[in-house]
Amino acid sequence: MHALFNIFFNSGLLIGYLVFFELDKTNGQLPWFKYYFHRFWRLTPVLMFTMLFYMYAEPWLGQGPVWYSITNKKMCEDYWWTNILYINNFYPVNNIQGCIPWVWYLANDMQFHWISPLIILPMYKKPWFGIGMLAQFLLASVIVTGVLIGYFDLSGALFTGGAVNLIPTDQPNFFDIVYTKPYCRIAPYLTGMALGFFMQRNKNIQIRNRNLISILGWVAATAIAVSVVYGLYRTSHGYELSTAEEIIYGSLSRFAWSISVAWVVFACHYGMAGLANTILSWPFWIPLSRLTYSAYLFHPIVLDVLVFNFAVPFHYTFNIIVFLFLGVTLMSYGVAALAFLAVELPMANIEKVIEDRINKIKKEK
C-alpha cells in the first residue's frame, strides 16, 4: 500500500519539476501534443505486450492441481481495451474482473496526468492562485474519501494487507469504492507536484537554522510515517475502529505518508539527509530505475507462475520467504530487462525519431 503512495508522489514530483522547467524554456507555452503523446507512448506499448504475454504465454508456463484455475483469460478478452483507454479503475465496476487488474494504478496515474495542466499552468502564471487550486483539489480528495468511507461504513481492516478474516462478508467493496479511484488517490500526487514546483523555483535557497530544521523535520516525518504504518496495528488483533477513526485514518493516511516522503526528498535535495542521501543517490539504482515500470507490470505474472505451480500446501518460514523474495525479485527484473530491450527501448527510439522529424518540419517552416 505505502509503496503505491510513493509512486504517486514520485509521479507528481517529476511532473511538478520537469514541466515547470519546460515552461521556462517555452515562455509559458505548454507543448500539448508532446505532453499527452509522450505519456501515452511511454506507458502503452509495454502494457499491451504484458497483456499479450499474460493471455497467450503464461498459460503454458505451469501445470499442477491449481494451475489451471488461472488459465482462463476471458476477462482479458472482454476488457483489454479498458486498459488501453486507462479507464480500468472505473470499468469493469468490479476491478478484480478486469484484465491484469493490478494496472489500476496506471489508470490513476494517467488520469492525474490528464488533469495536471489545470493546476500547473495557474501555478506557473499566478503561483499563489495555482497553489490555492492545488489545495482545493487536495481538500476535495480528503473530504470525498472520508464521505465514501463513512457512507458505505467501510471497515478499517480493509486498509491493512492482512486481517482479511475481520472483514464482514456483506461489507461493500472497499477496493472498488475507494482504493482504485483517482479522487481518493490524488493526494500524494498533489504533494509531489507542490514539492516539485518549490524545488524548481528555489534551486539555490539558503536555509537558516539548518540543523534545527533538519532535526525537527526528521522527527516529524518519522512520527508521521510510523503512525501511518502502525496506526491500524490493533485491528489485526480484534480491535474494531469507530466510524470516526475509520474516516480519519482512511482520508488522511495517504496524504500523511506523502508528507513524510516529501521531507526525505526535500532533505536529500537540500543537503540535510546525510547517509540517507548517500544511499539513495547511489549510481547502482540508475539502471534498476530504467526497469522499474516493466518489473511492476510483470512481477504478478512471476508470482503466478511460482504460487500456482505448487502441488502441495506451502508452509511459511523465514528462510523460505527470504529465498522466495530474492528469487522473485531477480526473476521480475530479469523479465523486465528483456521487456525493456524488446519493447520500451525501441519505442523510445521511435518516439525520438518522430520528435526530431516534427522539429525539423517546424524549422523548415
Tens of pLDDT along the chain (365 residues) come to 445 557 899 999 999 999 998 898 888 899 999 999 999 999 999 999 999 999 999 999 998 888 988 888 999 999 999 999 999 999 998 888 899 999 999 999 999 999 999 999 999 999 999 999 999 999 999 999 999 999 998 875 555 444 444 444 455 678 889 999 999 999 999 999 999 999 999 988 888 889 999 999 999 999 999 999 998 888 878 788 888 999 999 999 999 999 999 999 999 999 999 999 999 999 999 999 999 999 999 999 999 999 999 988 888 899 999 999 999 999 999 999 999 999 999 999 999 998 888 888 877 76
Report the pLDDT value the prediction gives residue 5, as an integer from 0 to 100. 55
Residues 6+ apart with CB under 8 A from 241: 155, 156, 232, 235, 249
* CA torsion through residues 5, 162, 296, 112, sign: negative
Closest CA to 99 of 113, 108, 109, 89: 89
Report the pLDDT value the prediction gives residue 361, as an integer from 0 to 100. 82
- Amino acid sitting at position 129: F
Residues 6+ apart with CB under 8 A from 195: 12, 13, 16, 262, 265, 266
State the burial class of residue 119 (Cβ atoms within 10 Å of its Cβ: 0-12, 13-18, 19+).
buried
Closest CA to 285 of 268, 301, 302: 268
CB 215 within 8 Å of CB 274: no
Cα–Cα distances (Å) from 48 to 38, 95, 229, 341, in that order, read 16, 18, 34, 15
Residue keyed to cell 529465498: 323
Report the pLDDT value the prediction gives residue 102, as an integer from 0 to 100. 95
Report the pLDDT value the prediction gives residue 164, as an integer from 0 to 100. 41
For helices 243-269 and 182-201, angle between their N-to-C axes, nearest 10 degrees: 30
pTM of model > 0.75: yes
The angle at the Cα of 344, spanning 340 to 347, to the nearest 5 degrees, equals 150
Could you say which DSSP state residue 343 is in? I
Is it true that the peptide bond before 92 is cis, omega within 30 degrees of 0?
yes
Quote the CA–CA distance of 11 and 187 in Å, as a whole number: 12
Quote the CA–CA distance of 254 and 145 in Å, as a whole number: 11
